[in-house]
Structure formats: structure tokens, C-alpha cells
Amino acid sequence: MDHRGFPLSANVSMLFTELPYLDRYAAAARRGFALVESWWPFPGPTASGAEIDLLVTALKAGGVSLSALNFYGGDLPGGERGVASHPDRQEELAANISTVVEIAERTGCRLFNLLYGQLDDRWTPEEQRACAVEAIRSAAAAVAPFGGTVLIEPLTEGLNGRYPLLTADDVLALLDGPLQDVPNVSLLFDTFHLGSNGVDLVSTASRLGATLAHVQLADSPGRGEPGSGALPLDDTLDALKAAGYTGVVACEYKPTVDTASSFGWLPHP
């Protein structure tokens, strides 16, 4: 399935939530998706061999490919948004990186979203930044041998605690600064998060499109399907295309109706 010249993937952590998690892969395939992506699907930073087997089996049975996966981000339902910047969570993250590599080797996934983490008064912002930079370096080094890329994502202000990355330029300050010698790290261009924070999506897409490794699509306000909010999403996709972006566009939105009814903006398979 494609839209405005881009292959589309379905984020099964936000779509098809009417179904048990492992059943969502086949549901995405039935709707015409060949690609899927997911947030970290296990409760802790690691997974047993049996748990990974179930994931791989669900992908194969559904006939879909895993195009992107989040690293462990802590207790997301409890409000955490990443552990990379927290010095006391690096053992967890190291264990998670090993599990991510195992999943990647079995699924062919090559894009991996690493949430930075929220500011914590136990450390200065500079200490947390240094910790995050080393964590990102470790993650990038682990996935580099098989062509993997680490994605760094701004998040919406006011909805994600004291998360310090709010704009594309916040991420670029890392990528063009202390991480400038790490080639396999990229900004994750999420229209909901950037648009909600007042970023001009079209001009930013035009400026950065050729450098991006991944794009996620949702409207704002509300994070619903395209057309449910006020963002210029088609114009943004056209700007990305004109700028040279050639990757996947992920449907990472929270449907305002049941998932099947939320696809009115897409071509029918």
C-alpha cells in the first residue's frame, strides 16, 4: 500500500487495538499493509526466546515485514518516555539493545526508535545529555553491522513530562553536534509531535527531507487519522517527496473511530 508515492506501514501499537497484540499483524495485512512497525512489545527491557518466537511467528503468519521497532522506553503507560538519558537505567538499556539486535536479525527490521528520556533533577541536563549521547552511540554501534539506523524523536510538549526534545532542531543539535561522527542516527519526523509543537511541517520537510530515515503520520490536535485535525499532511508529504525522502511513511495515529473505519483517507486495496 502506498500514499502520495510513499510505501505505508501500520503501527500495530496504535492501530487494530480492538484485537490482541499478536493478531494485529494479520489484521494489517488484510487491510493491505505489507509493512508494520511497533513500540516495544514486551513489559520489560528483555524478552525470552519463546516470546520472540511468538512475535516472529505472528509476522510470518500475517505475511508482513517489521520495518521499525522502538527500543525499550521504560514504563510508557506509567508516564516514562525513555531511559537513554538516565544514568541509573543504562544496564536495562544495554540488555534491551541485545534483545533488539536478536529481533532485528530474525525479522530484518532496520529502523529503531530510541526515546531520549525525561529530565530528572537527580542529574543536571548536561549530565543527562552526556549519558544519552553515549547510549545513542552504543545503540547505533550495535545495529550498524546489519545496516540498522537509530531514530531520535521529538515529543509533544505538555503530554510527555519533562521531555527536552521538542523540535527537529533540538534533535539536530545532537546529530550535528556530539553525534556528528555517527552516521546511522536520524531524526524521526513525526507530524503529530512536530506539528503540535508549532513546527512548520512543510518548510521543515523541505529542509530536511533528504536526510530523514523515517516519517510517522498523525494529525493534530488529537493524534487521530489524517483529516481529523488541522495539519497540512498531504502538503507535508509532497514536500518530503520533492526534497528527496524515499523511505516509509508510518500510520502512527490513534483512530477517532474503529480502526477499519479510520482508513477513509487511504486508497482501497
Tens-digit pLDDT profile for residues 130-164: 999 999 999 999 999 999 999 999 999 999 999 99
Q: Is residue 65 domain-resident?
A: yes
What is the rounded distance in angstroms from the CA atom of residue 143 to the CA atom of residue 157? 30
Which one of the listed residues 37, 80, 153, 225 is annotated catalytic? 153
What is the rounded distance in angstroms from the CA atom of residue 48 to the CA atom of residue 125? 35
pTM above 0.95, yes or no: yes
Q: Which amino acid is at 15?
A: L
Closest CA to 65 of 189, 218, 241, 248: 248
Q: Is residue 266 domain-resident?
A: no
Specify the number of domains making up the chain: 1
Q: Is residue 242 domain-resident?
A: yes
Do 72 and 114 meet the contact criterion of CB atoms below 8 Å apart? no
- Residue range 23-49: mean pLDDT, rounded: 97
Structural domain boundaries, residue 221: 8-261
Q: Percentage of the chain with pLDDT > 70?
A: 99
CATH number at residue 218: 3.20.20.150
Q: Is residue 245 domain-resident?
A: yes
**269 has a pLDDT exceeding 60:** no
- Residue range 44-49: mean pLDDT, rounded: 97
Q: Is residue 34 domain-resident?
A: yes
Catalytic, 51? Answer no
Q: Is residue 267 domain-resident?
A: no
pLDDT score of 268: 63
Which one of the listed residues 37, 80, 225, 252 is annotated catalytic? 252
3-state secondary structure of 21: helix
Summary mean pLDDT of the chain:
97
Grid cell locating 146: 546489519
pLDDT score of 266: 87
Q: Is residue 2 domain-resident?
A: no
Q: Is residue 3 domain-resident?
A: no
Catalytic, 252? Answer yes
Tens-digit pLDDT profile for residues 193-243: 999 999 999 999 999 999 999 999 999 999 999 999 999 999 999 999 999
